[in-house]
Amino acid sequence: MLKKRDVHDSHVLYDLMTHPDVFPFVRHKAASYEEFLFITKQTIEAEEQGELISRTILDEWGAPIGTISLYDIEENAGFLGTWLGKPYHGKGYNNLAKEAFFQELFYELGIETVYMRIRKVNIRSIKAAEKLPYVINANETRKLLYSEINASGDIFNLYEIPKDLYTLHLLRNSAEQDTSQRLEA
């Protein structure tokens, strides 16, 4: 489902990223394949230096379909950035990728908080974020951070995923599955 970034995936990812429904929402835009390759190499180097965490999202056959990353890591917190190629929208890959990424971030890499800044015009992403039971709208609770991400205008909503709330979600789901399995038996 996820693997470390690799320059060998660049052609497929670049082609997916340039779709007009995807490109506006990609954090590190590339105007050419060569630029995308350069950005990918920079991303790999930045991860080696502990500045970010980035993974390639794979479909069930192991083909690259998008990326998921944690940027601007400070004090065990960072900003989530994710995109999927247009053919993979609405098929559940985003949630599966987030679940796998959060497992790695929270339980293997020591991250305590994941923030999401979502453009207020990106209604599809806002609705998807607000469906998740472990996401908090942080526009009011993290006013300083909200002001920082909107320094050039009222562009973004701020969401927060704390490790403890995510863990509670996992425990609740596990308990519900155990109960349902006992009832079936």
pLDDT, mean of residues 50-67: 96
162 alpha carbon, distance to own chain's centre: 14
pLDDT value of position 184 = 62
Domain check: are 90 and 170 in the same one?
Answer: no
Domain boundary among 111, 144, 162: 111
Amino acid letter, 93: Y
Paired tokens of 108: 């293997």
Domain check: are 59 and 147 in the same one?
Answer: no
Domain check: are 94 and 121 in the same one?
Answer: no
Domain check: are 98 and 155 in the same one?
Answer: no
Domain of residue 22 covers 1-111
Paired tokens of 156: 């973004």
Give the pLDDT band (50/70/90) at residue 179.
low
Domain boundary among 111, 137, 164: 111
Please give the model's pTM, rounded to 2 decimal places: 0.87
Least reliable range by pLDDT among 79-93, 100-114, 118-132, 134-148: 118-132
Q: What is the pLDDT of residues 19-29, one digit of tens each?
A: 998 988 888 89
172 alpha carbon, distance to own chain's centre: 22
The total domain count for the chain is 2
Domain check: are 106 and 158 in the same one?
Answer: no
Query: Which CATH number covers residue 39?
Result: 3.40.630.30
CB atoms near residue 117 (< 10 Å): 21
Sheet of 156-162, strand order: 2-4, 53-58, 64-74, 77-84, 113-119, 156-162, 136-137
Domain check: are 48 and 127 in the same one?
Answer: no
- Kindly report the CA angle at 116 between 103 and 101, in degrees rounded to 5? 20
Domain boundary among 90, 111, 132: 111
Domain check: are 66 and 38 in the same one?
Answer: yes
